[in-house]
Each structure stands twice: as C-alpha cells, then as structure tokens.
C-alpha cells in the first residue's frame, strides 16, 4: 500500500478537504518513518498505510483513519504527543496515545489467556485507553490483522507466538465487538500457522464436500429465490462456507464426524425488513421440513455481542440438510463489522458529535461494556488488589432485564446480587429477596441471558460477609467489601 493507492481508496469515502487531512498525515508519517524497514524489506510506512486502508474498508470515521496512519510514530520515532496534537488536534492525539498505551501495557502481560498486564500502572493505562474510546480497540484490531497478513516474513518462533496471541486474544476480542468478518480472518490465518497440517487437511476436506454439494445447493437457492420473487419480497441470496477453524472446533466436538456438521454450507438470505425475515422463514418452512430443535431466533433474542439473524436447518425432498440464515442488510453489516458498523450507522444518522466526545455512550447496548472498563480502571487507581480485579474483555456475557425493560450486561455466571449492584449501589446494599422471571430466587441462583430480575429491598438490610460467595462482578464484590469495612470501624 502506498500513498497514491490509499488516497484513491479514500476518494469514495471522504470529501476533498478530508482527503487533504489524510494526505497531510501520510506525508508526516513518511518523514518520521523514513529509513525504517519492515521484516519484508518494504519501507515501514507501508504498514500504517495498510492499517488505514483496512479501516477505510470497515467504513470508520476520519479521525480513526488518520490515527492509524500515525499510530506507530509515538512508539517507533522521535515524535512527541504534543507534536501530534499541534499538527492534527487533540482527538487524533488521544486515539494515538490510546493505541500506544495498549501496546505498551501488553508488554506486561502475565499470560496470554488473561491478557492483563501484571503491574498496576500498566493495567490502569490499559483499561483507561480502551475504556475511554472504543475506537482504540478497532484501530488495534486493524493493526494486528495487517501484521498477520504479513506473518510469512517472520521467523517460525515469532510466527507461532503472534498467531497464538492472535487466536487467544484478538479473535475473541473481535467476536466480543461483533466483528465477525475480522474474527474469521484472524482465526484462519492464526490456525494455519499454529496447526498447518490440520489446516491443510480440513481445507481439502471442505473443498471436496462443497464440490459435491454445490449443485444441489444451487437448486435450493433457485427454489427459494423464485418463491420470494412471487411473494414480492426483495432479497439477496448467496451461500456461505464454514471457516476452517470453525470446522476444526466443531469436528472436535463431534468426534471428527463431518456428517454431524450440518452447517458446512449455509444459504444466507438478506431482506429489507424484520417482518420480511419472519415471512421468509415461514416460506422456507413451507418448502422444506424444518428440524425443530435447530430453529434459532437471534432477532428477538440477539447474541451477547449484538448478532441478529434467524437460523433454521431444514431437510429437502432429496434428504439434503441445509442451514438458512435470514437477516436484514443492517443486521448483516453488524454481523460482519460489529463495532465498526456502529460507527458507520451513527455517522449516517448525523451524530457527528459522537466522534468528538471520546465516549462510547452512543454505542448500542451490547457494546456499552467498554465504558465499564473506566470504572475498573478507577478501582485499580484506588488501590484495589490486581487479583481482585475481574476484567472480562472477551468472555461470555449475559443480558439481564429489569421489570421496566432496561438491559444490563453482566458476565456469565452472575448472581442476582450482581444485577442489584449493577442497577445501583444502594439497591445492592439493601437487597432482601429476588424475583427472577416471576419466581422467588435465592442468592446463589445463577442468572441466564434474557432473565427478568426484580430486587426487593429493605432499609434494615445490609451487606453480610457471606454475600461475597454470591457475586461475580468486581463492582459488587468491592462495594460489599467497602460496606463491611465501614461497618467494622
């Protein structure tokens, strides 16, 4: 990627004045990185320009693209933060500083699977950087993606280390952000370096199976498309082949029996509205025999990363088993690009101030967890022991509803007390009983995604030491400990 190629790509996305700002950033970074080379032997500037190109493809905002062009100048050149602020403004300087802090903090990791720096200062910087503005994470993902794409130029030892971290951390983080397309590419590249023989075997197996099934799948696509046209439902329909890494995980689950993998190939139908999604589902069920236990409504109940779609698996008249995924264009964009799509749709809605507030408050509910990292950073700064800090950047999450319909994002395994403290500290402190889905629940009841929880309080109730056994979140744990200390003084 060079300057002319990037500016040509930017032409379809940004105005003349915006492209001038991009060009200014390219010229600045080119001078700063002059003489530096990548492991491939190419000029170093090709890396930040490639990262910017990835972000343009994801349709992010101008500041993120410029920050990507400049993202290595603080760490790898003599550039100062003040110099960036003087030339490109506070917002871009903030993003670059955040990306740099995430990189610096990672160097103090305890272990890959925790992805948490071991020093208080580094942990605090890490959480603050990604908690203040989620675009820092998106830029970091684009940076890692390009590094993976050029992994062949590194030594086998470095290839394995980067691939391992990418699979354990960045792929899961992409999934947490709802960025399905990015997750799949990170998984595929990483897996090909970590287990090359297994990857090659599964790739050949997939190709062989798909070749056999393609003609029959094409017939089914035509049948469905013809009916949708008759019903005047505007649609796009295409096939989706399961990724190699996803197939690997599924085969491991099913004792290597590929005949148990019904979604090796799936048909994806994109329609114009939510109601058309359900109408299309009914049409498909009239055409073919649905396998009842495989019908999944992720529109009414989205996945915890915000993914929405209808899934159904059917058996055709010739006993072929096929999965269908039905969604709207906007749902598809979110399924592919997640948080990046959130930026794009916010921008389309003219929420121009969002990109200047350095806040994630304008994000959808399922992505608002990033703002909670600031609260965790505050606990670190206040002296809470690192071992008591529970930061779940990419673990499973559940959505819990209040009786009024408000949504609360909690880690999997949370208890009613976690919900109570998420609503308000005073409610947590005075919790007496809980009603989950209309039934009284005990303190040790583990919540499930979609539960409706009501907290009954009493002014005479106060936290007790055994409450610590029935909380999962750091917020609830630390609020209880604080109250217990106050009580004992």
Q: Tell me what pLDDT residue 56 has.
A: 93
- Of the residues 5, 27, 75, 238, only one is catalytic, namely 75
Q: Answer yes or no: CATH 3.40.1350.10 is held by domain 196-333.
A: no
CA dihedral of residues 333, 336, 342, 347 (deg, nearest 10): -50
Out of 23, 42, 57, 76, the active site residue is 76
- Domain 3-194 -> CATH class: mainly alpha
Q: How many helices (H) and strands (E) does the chain have?
A: 21, 11
**In the chain, domain spans:** 3-194, 196-333, 396-488
pLDDT of residue 106: 53
> How is the chain split among helix, strand and coil, in percent rounded to 5?
60, 10, 30
Question: Which candidate, 318, 298, 294, places its Cα nearest to that of 309?
Answer: 298
Is there a contact between 32 and 73 (Cβ–Cβ < 8 Å)?
yes
pLDDT tens readout for residues 145-156 = 999 999 999 999
* CATH for the stretch 396-488: 3.10.20.30
pTM: 0.71
Closest Cα partner for 137 from 57, 55, 80, 81? 55
Q: Give the alpha-carbon dihedral of 248, 252, 254, 255, to 10 degrees.
A: 120
What's the start-to-end Cα distance of the chain, in Å?
64
Cα 66 to Cα 99, 268, 393: the distances in Å are 13, 35, 26
pLDDT in tens, the chain (489 residues): 899 999 999 998 899 999 999 999 999 999 999 999 999 999 999 999 999 999 999 888 899 999 999 999 998 999 999 999 999 999 999 899 888 877 765 554 444 444 455 545 555 555 555 666 778 888 989 999 999 999 999 999 999 989 988 887 788 878 877 788 899 999 999 999 999 999 999 999 888 887 777 777 888 899 999 999 999 999 999 888 888 998 888 888 777 877 777 777 789 999 999 999 999 999 999 999 999 988 999 998 887 777 899 999 999 888 888 899 999 999 998 888 776 666 555 555 444 443 444 443 345 555 555 556 656 666 656 666 555 555 555 556 677 888 876 767 788 889 999 999 989 999 999 999 999 988 999 999 999 877 889 999 998 889 999 999 999 887 888 889 888 887 764
Give CA–CA dist 244/246, Å, rounded. 6
Known catalytic residue at 75:
yes
What are the residue ranges of helices labelled H in 288-423? 329-348, 354-357, 372-381, 416-423
Closest Cα partner for 136 from 83, 82, 177?
177
CA distance 46 to 42: 7
In order of 117, 284, 295, 486, the CA distances from 142 in angstroms are 21, 38, 34, 46
The residues with which 343 forms a beta bridge, in sequence order, are none
Q: What are residue 335's phi and psi, to 5 degrees?
A: -65, -35
Tokens 């940004």 belong to 14
Q: Which residue has the tokens 């492991």?
A: 39
- Residue 431 is predicted with a pLDDT of 94
Quick check: 344 and 333 in contact, CB under 8 A? yes
| Residue-level pLDDT at 324 | 95
Distance CA(143)–CA(1), nearest Å, equals 14
Q: Which two tokens stand for residue 105?
A: 């903090």
Q: Length of the chain in residues, anyone?
A: 489
The token pair that represents 298 in the structure block: 């992720």
| pLDDT computed for residue 187 by the predictor | 95
Tell me the two tokens of residue 381. 């700064």
Output the pLDDT for position 129.
Answer: 59
CA-CA distance, 201 to 484, in Å (whole number)? 58
282-295 as b/e: b if 16+ CB within 10 A = ebbeeebebeeeee
DSSP E strand boundaries for 258-317: 265-271, 289-290, 296-297, 310-315
Taking the CA atoms of residue 114, residue 120, residue 121 and residue 125 in that order, the dihedral angle to the nearest 10 degrees is 40
Active site residue 165: no
Cα–Cα distance between 192 and 166 in angstroms, integer? 12
Q: What is the pLDDT of residue 349?
A: 47
Q: What token pair was written down for 87?
A: 């030339």
């Amino acid at each position: 990627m060079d300057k002319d190629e990037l500016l040509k790509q930017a032409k379809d996305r940004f105005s003349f004045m915006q492209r001038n700002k991009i060009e200014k950033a390219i010229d600045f970074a080119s001078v700063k990185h002059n003489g530096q080379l990548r492991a491939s032997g190419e000029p170093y500037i090709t890396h930040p320009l490639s990262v910017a190109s990835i972000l343009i493809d994801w349709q992010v905002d101008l500041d993120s693209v410029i920050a990507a062009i400049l993202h290595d100048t603080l760490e790898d050149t003599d550039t100062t933060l003040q110099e960036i602020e003087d030339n490109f403004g506070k917002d871009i300087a903030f993003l670059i500083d955040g990306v740099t802090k995430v990189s610096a903090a990672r160097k103090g990791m305890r272990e890959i699977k925790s992805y948490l720096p071991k020093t208080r200062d580094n942990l605090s910087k890490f959480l603050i950087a990604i908690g203040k503005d989620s675009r820092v994470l998106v830029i970091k993902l684009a940076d890692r993606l390009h590094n993976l794409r050029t992994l062949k130029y590194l030594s086998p030892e470095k290839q394995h280390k980067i691939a391992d971290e990418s699979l354990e951390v960045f792929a899961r983080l992409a999934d947490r952000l709802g960025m399905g397309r990015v997750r799949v590419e990170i998984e595929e590249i990483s897996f090909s370096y970590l287990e090359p023989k297994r990857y090659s075997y599964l790739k050949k197996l997939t190709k062989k199976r798909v070749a056999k099934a393609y003609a029959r799948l094409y017939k089914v696509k035509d049948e469905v498309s013809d009916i949708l046209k008759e019903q005047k439902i505007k649609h796009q329909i295409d096939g989706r082949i399961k990724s190699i890494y996803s197939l690997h995980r599924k085969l491991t689950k099913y004792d290597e029996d590929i005949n148990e993998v019904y979604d090796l190939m799936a048909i994806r139908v994109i329609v114009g509205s939510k109601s058309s999604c359900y109408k299309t589902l009914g049409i498909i069920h009239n055409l073919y025999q649905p396998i009842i236990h495989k019908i999944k409504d992720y529109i009414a109940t989205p996945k915890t990363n915000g993914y929405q779609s209808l899934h159904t698996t059917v058996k055709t008249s010739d006993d072929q088993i096929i999965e269908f995924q039905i969604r709207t264009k906007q749902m598809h964009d979110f399924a592919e690009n997640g948080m990046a799509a959130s930026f794009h749709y916010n921008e389309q809605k003219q929420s121009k101030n969002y990109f200047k507030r350095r806040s994630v408050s304008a994000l959808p509910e399922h992505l608002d967890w990033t703002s909670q990292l600031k609260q965790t950073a505050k606990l670190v700064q206040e002296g809470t022991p690192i071992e008591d800090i529970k930061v779940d950047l990419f673990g499973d999450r559940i959505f819990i509803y209040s009786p009024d319909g408000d949504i609360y994002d909690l880690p999997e395994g949370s208890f009613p007390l976690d919900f109570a403290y998420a609503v308000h500290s005073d409610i947590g402190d005075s919790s007496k009983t809980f009603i989950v889905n209309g039934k009284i629940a005990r303190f040790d009841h583990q919540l499930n995604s979609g539960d409706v929880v009501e907290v009954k309080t009493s002014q005479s109730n106060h936290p007790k030491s055994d409450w610590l056994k029935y909380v999962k979140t750091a917020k609830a744990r630390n609020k209880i400990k604080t109250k217990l200390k106050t009580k004992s003084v």
